[in-house]
Amino acid sequence: MEAISLTAIGLGLIVLGAALGIGKIGQSAIEAMSRQPEISSKIQTAMIVAAALIEGVSLFAIVVAWLVD
Amino acid sequence: MRILFIIFFLLVTSLNLQASSEHAEEEGAVDAFGLIMGHISDSHQWHVIDYTNRHGHPVHISMPLPVILWHDNQLWFYSSDSFFHAEHPVKIGNDHLVLEDGHFYLTDHEGTIIRDGQGSITNPSPLDFSITKNVASMILSMLLLLLIFLSAAKAYARYGMPPPKGFRAILEPLILFVRDDIARSQIDEDKADKFVPFLLTLFFFIWINNLIGIVPFFPGGSNLSGNISFTATLAVFAFLAINIFASKDYWKHIFIAPGMPFPIKILLVPLEFVGIFIKPFALMIRLFANITAGHIIILSLISIIFILKSIYIAPVSVLLSLVMFMLELLVAVLQAYIFTLLTALFIGMSTSKTEH
């Protein structure tokens, strides 16, 4: 039981971190887009790339947590 | 388009579907974990449907797939059907074969499986080149892609470049999107067009396999793009594309790190070197985990009905899984886009001339 609950806590922490990061990216991207709508497509690409990088790290952590469990 | 449907129909109807009736398994708790794991992992037969017939016997219908093994310097061909309903182990040369947990093992003539202390099987196993469910699904998606794009190419060759009609009207914006918004916006102008065929292949191959994966019934439903070997192969191709065409500047910045003080170089060079491998590794994990997670979530939502054994939970569960299916449709194209975009980005980083 001990190991299972530790994995669950780890997964929760991963989700927290990833959500915080992606949320901040989305927030600043939307702010930037509303300031300069004419370059919104460029901002969108940059946003998706940054979100994908965070997602990559968090998925990596999830897979490791799953394997260690 | 009509040809496509006809071929799909032929493929589905001409399959040698085999029904087998077995005695009822023990009633009781539904093994949701086993069901989900069975779905997301590869298999030697392509499961179609299970139902209970008029006499109360459960019927399993699945499509047998070819089993190809390398043993004693010789290739052996079987139908996977001979392993699922066999009473005795199948002969292979002087040895015998048993299918256990999705792997083939060599055994004695009684099919004895030897396990060690941890429960893992110690029997030797032959090299397995079988057409498994994932491989069959990949062949299907390749045929579909060939049909779609060869017919589109033929139409362009015949009619030239007037505004596209029919199915080409969907393809053309997508292809232009990959060329203009992915390749040309990330890679230097003069080199971008060289990588467009590779990026197009990546994009459409990942997308169509994601889509086939979320079709819940027979010709779809295999978890191909959620299979780590599949994404690893794609990542290896991305790795080669990134590094083979890399400029001198790219290697110089990795191994020499110009303009840095020496102590920082000691830190930076190993990091940059590991970074070469981490980039495709992250591509591999991202696609694998996203698609597998989607499959697991949908199956878990459906399994809730059978875990709680209540029909009243069914509307909630079906509605939630419908929403997840919608999300998966989006994820299917988004992951194909992200994989292609990041590959293009890395190629652009490695091929560009850096401005100092």
Range 7-66 of A in CB contact (< 8 A) with B: 41, 45, 48-49, 52-53, 55-57, 59-60, 62-63
CA–CA gap between residue B281 and residue B133 (Å, rounded): 25
Task: Note whether B133 and B43 are within 8 A (CB).
Answer: yes
Note whether B286 contacts A48, CB cutoff 8 Å: no
Task: Evaluate if residue A26 carries a pLDDT over 50.
Answer: yes
pLDDT winner (highest mean) among B80-89, B157-166, B242-251: B242-251
Helix segments in B160-247, DSSP class H = 168-177, 184-186, 189-214, 228-244
The upper half-sphere exposure of residue B287, i.e. CA atoms within 13 Å in the direction of its Cβ, equals 37
Residue among B37, B277, B286 with most chain A CBs within 10 A, to mutate: B286
Q: Which residue is associated with the tokens 């994601």?
A: B210
Instruction: Put residue B257 in one of left, alpha, beta given phi > 0 → left and psi -120 to 50 → alpha.
Output: left
Burial B73-106 (b: 16+ CB within 10 A, else e): eeebebebbebeeeeebbebeebbbbbeeeebbb
Average pLDDT over residues B197-217: 92
CA–CA gap between residue B77 and residue B92 (Å, rounded): 10
Q: Taking the CB of residue B169, how many other CB atoms lie within 10 A of it?
A: 10
Greater confidence, B101 or A18? Answer: A18
Average pLDDT of chain B to the nearest whole number: 82
User: φ, ψ for residue B97 (rounded to 5)?
Assistant: -115, 140
Task: Evaluate if residue B24 carries a pLDDT over 50.
Answer: no
Greater confidence, A4 or B325? Answer: B325
What confidence tier does B13 reach under pLDDT thresholds 50, 70, 90? very low
Note whether A59 contacts B185, CB cutoff 8 Å: no
Contacts of B6 (CB under 8 A, 6+ apart): none
CA–CA gap between residue B196 and residue A42 (Å, rounded): 20
Name the token pair of B163.
């505004």
Task: Evaluate if residue B20 carries a pLDDT over 50.
Answer: no
CB-nearest partner of A49 from B283, B288, B345: B345
Average pLDDT over residues B20-34: 54
Name the token pair of B297.
């979530």
pLDDT for the residue B29: 59
Strand partners, B47: B62
CA angle B60, B66, B70 (to 5 degrees): 135
Name the token pair of B211.
């889509």
Maximum Cα–Cα distance across chain B: 81
Note whether B286 contacts A45, CB cutoff 8 Å: no
Q: Which residue is associated with the tokens 């579909």?
A: B144
User: φ, ψ for residue B260 (rounded to 5)?
Assistant: -105, 145
* pLDDT tens profile B137-179: 999 999 999 999 998 888 888 887 777 777 788 888 999 999 9
ipTM comes to 0.73
CATH 1.20.20.10 for the A2-68 domain, yes or no? yes
Note whether B290 contacts A52, CB cutoff 8 Å: no
From B192-201, B217-226, B229-238, B347-356, the region with the lowest mean pLDDT: B347-356
Greater confidence, B333 or B40? Answer: B333
